[in-house]
Structure 1
Amino acid sequence: MNQPHDTAHADALGALRAATGARHERLDSGMPLARPAPDLADYAAHLTMVRDWLLPLKAWLARFDDGPQAALPAVAHVELIEADLNEPGMPPVATPRHAPAPSPAGWPLDASAAYRWGVCYVIEGSQLGGKVLYGRLSERLAPHPLRYLRGADEGPGPRWRAFMQALKAEVTTPEQIAEACQGACDAFDSILALSE
């Protein structure tokens, strides 16, 4: 259920944070790496969940050529996840033998750019959380390189700042902010459904 949020007097970032705060807390506490002493099996479960969330989102976002898709270069999130899952010493992950191709079904084909900015806010924000997890787990799970959590050598900060600057320039009206909040809430709800 969506939480009410006032977009009439809020900037995009403030409104997005207010709209998704409770979902963010639920997700943080429900992910496999939230356990007190996570191991490689927990990391494999985390990666599988994030991959299963990202694949349909990436397929859906690829249908558009405006909005957040045009603002920043693409990041090979899924490729980093697959490299981590295939790292020697990783426990096997239960996957269907003939997994269906990622389908954007369920995501609106006529989504506004503002809605997609909200979805991408969640994707981009997950990289900030990944860097925090990398700092916490890199020694514990060594020698696994934790490529997905580590991300870019310069860290997620520069990309996040560029993303936020573009979002604030593109999502400005109360209607756009409300659409972005709905996109972000839907993105959180889709991964929360995988974590339960």
Structure 2
Amino acid sequence: MNRPHDPTSGMDALAALRAATSERHERLDSGLPLSGPAPDLNDYAQHLTLVRDWLAPLQAWLDGFADGPQIVLPAVERLALIDADLAEPGMPAPRTAALSDPLPLDASAAYRWGVAYVIEGSQLGGKVLYGKLAEPLAPHPLRYLRGADEGPGPRWRAFMLALKEHVKSPDEIADACAGACAAFDSILGLSVDKSA
């Protein structure tokens, strides 16, 4: 059943997620600490802290479920990469914040696929930032932005295939869009807090 006034109705999961989150994605990209013309190590530390403050509770929340996206792909130690980068010599002391709105404990698997879409997609942007910042921020290894040696492409393709397999019905797609929007809103809320 199509939902009235739902701009994502009739789309597959990936197209619907892109449409539902595009405005949030643009706002986030323009407001991140690394979005300035010449980011430095302080900006990278702020970026890492923002992502850690956002990712740690989301990962703990996802780990509390026995089904859904967190069991389809192998785990990635993103928090360990962030912590290693923050521990590098010369990195400024990070400031931390907490997510203000916890995610629902009874969320559907489709909702969690939407949250995972934002987490997995963030790695694609990280690889672009790595290419831009590796030389200016050397010798910092930028582990979090660099990610896996093979890059984020293979994992992203596997994620997209799994998403299409597990999120099909209009209700599932709507739930996935709600989860993705909630994930974006949580990091947008933190980025506003950080700039204060």
Paired residue for 2:167, among 164, 171, 179? 171
Structure 1 residues 185 and 31, CA gap change in structure 2 (3 angstroms): same
Corresponding residue number in structure 2 for 1:21: 22
Distance 1:34 1:103 in 2: 22
Distance 2:94 2:53 in 1: 12
How far 1:8 sits from its partner (Å)? Answer: 2.9
2:136 paired with 1:140: yes
TM-score (norm. length: structure 2):
0.92
Distance 1:30 1:105 in 2: 20
Paired residue for 1:150, among 146, 149, 152? 146
Please list the CA deviations of residues 106-125 of structure 1 after superposition, one character each: whole Å capped at 9, or x if unmatched: 21111000000000000000
How far 1:13 sits from its partner (Å)? Answer: 0.5
Which amino acid in 2 is paired with 1:74?
A
Structure 1 residues 164 and 155, CA gap change in structure 2 (3 angstroms): same
1:33-182 → structure 2 map (5 Å cutoff)? 33-95=34-96, 106-182=102-178
Corresponding residue number in structure 2 for 1:12: 13
Which amino acid in 2 is paired with 1:150?
R
Corresponding residue number in structure 2 for 1:99: none
TM-score (norm. length: structure 1):
0.92
RMSD (Å), alpha carbons = 1.6
Distance 2:93 2:102 in 1: 29
Distance 1:60 1:40 in 2: 30
Percent sequence identity is 71
Which amino acid in 2 is paired with 1:126?
S
| Cα contact 1:5–1:18 (8 A) shared by 2 | no
Distance 2:100 2:165 in 1: 27
How far 1:105 sits from its partner (Å)? Answer: 6.6
Distance 2:109 2:116 in 1: 10
Equivalent pairs, count: 188
Distance 2:56 2:31 in 1: 20
Gap runs ≥5 in structure 1: 97-101
How far 1:34 sits from its partner (Å)? Answer: 0.3
